[in-house]
Amino acid sequence: MENNITPNDIKNLNTKKGIQALLTDKEVNLQKAVRSINYIKSLKKLQKELIKMHEEIIEKNQRVIVVFEGRDAAGKGGAIRRMTERINPRHFRIVALPKPTDEERSQWYFQRYINKFPKAGEIVFFDRSWYNRAVVEPVNGFCTQEEYVRFMNNVNDFERMITSSGIKLVKIYMSITKDEQAKRFDEIRDNPLKQWKITPVDEKAQELWDEYTKYKNVMFTNTNTDYAPWKIIKANRKTFARVNAIKYLLSKIPYDKNREV
């Protein structure tokens, strides 16, 4: 494996970040350290592009919604954090709604999400969205079959209204394997700083894997439209997924790539 290390890799490893990458694990792993430093460099470059894109959104009073969906522990939150950690904090919001209140349950299903939509010059990132009703809710019995069918009949018209109003809608699905999800759950349970992330729904995710798959496939088949398509990102490797999620967002929002930052 060490024979695959290039002179440029050695140069990168002989830096402060490179040394930190080498010392991350108890045993020195050159290949892993090289991947880590290359990821950091790629991320920094892409985050500069995100700043350019975001500044143009602010200047032009554009409105952008980025929807992140995926199985539990798929890395949605981590990808959103990498997207937002360098951009202007006054002009974006991250929305991760809790379960609806009794009042919200009496309202039109989409209403609680509409209330969080962006104002002019703002991006809103949804860490899970109205698509809860397409997968999570029917799998776990949180909605009736009638409510599920009504949602599936209405969601495309709802998104057509969003996009026709001038809002840019980007939909990203982070995809992991069953084994990878189980591994991540174990890592979360073993980490006192992350144990709060495990919910009762998460505890049943492995058992209900096939049911999630069934509803997920129906969701893709019925809601992958030309005006609001899905982007499926393989997310078993978190760094790979974060980089590709950022690249996709940059490809969906036109901006001047030559502007100064």
- Rounded to whole angstroms, the Cα distance separating 117 from 90 reads 15
For the segment 216-237, what is each residue's pLDDT rounded down to a tens digit? 999 999 999 999 999 999 999 9
Residue 81 inside a domain? The answer is: yes
Residue 2 inside a domain? The answer is: no
**Dihedral, 244, 205, 208, 132 alpha carbons, nearest 10:** -60
Residue 25 inside a domain? The answer is: no
Residue 126 inside a domain? The answer is: yes
Residue 26 inside a domain? The answer is: no
pLDDT at 5: 72
32-46, 62-76, 140-154, 241-255, range with the lowest pLDDT: 32-46
Residue 37 inside a domain? The answer is: no
Mean pLDDT value of segment 117-146: 98
pLDDT at 245: 98
Report residue 1's pLDDT band, with 50, 70 and 90 as the boundaries.
very low
81 and 94 in contact (C-beta within 8 Å)? no
192 pLDDT above the threshold of 80: yes
Report residue 121's pLDDT band, with 50, 70 and 90 as the boundaries.
very high
pLDDT at 2: 45
95 pLDDT above the threshold of 50: yes
Percent of the chain past pLDDT 70, that is, above it, reads 90
Contacts of 145 (CB under 8 A, 6+ apart): 138
* Phi and psi angles of residue 208, each rounded to the nearest 5 degrees, phi first: -100, 20
For the chain, what is the mean pLDDT? 92
Residue 66 inside a domain? The answer is: yes
55 pLDDT above the threshold of 80: yes
pLDDT at 36: 84
pLDDT at 11: 66
- Provide the CATH number for the domain around residue 134: 3.40.50.300
Give how many domains the chain has, as a whole number. Answer: 1
- Rounded to whole angstroms, the Cα distance separating 71 from 82 reads 19
Domain with 236, as residue range(s), is: 59-252
Residue 32 inside a domain? The answer is: no
Report residue 191's pLDDT band, with 50, 70 and 90 as the boundaries.
very high
CB neighbour burial string for 89-100, b if at least 16 within 10 angstroms, e if fewer: eebbbbbebeee
Burial class (CB in 10 A: 0-12, 13-18, 19+), 119: exposed
pLDDT at 25: 60
180 and 51 in contact (C-beta within 8 Å)? no
Mean pLDDT value of segment 67-75: 98
For the segment 15-30, what is each residue's pLDDT rounded down to a tens digit? 766 556 555 665 655 6
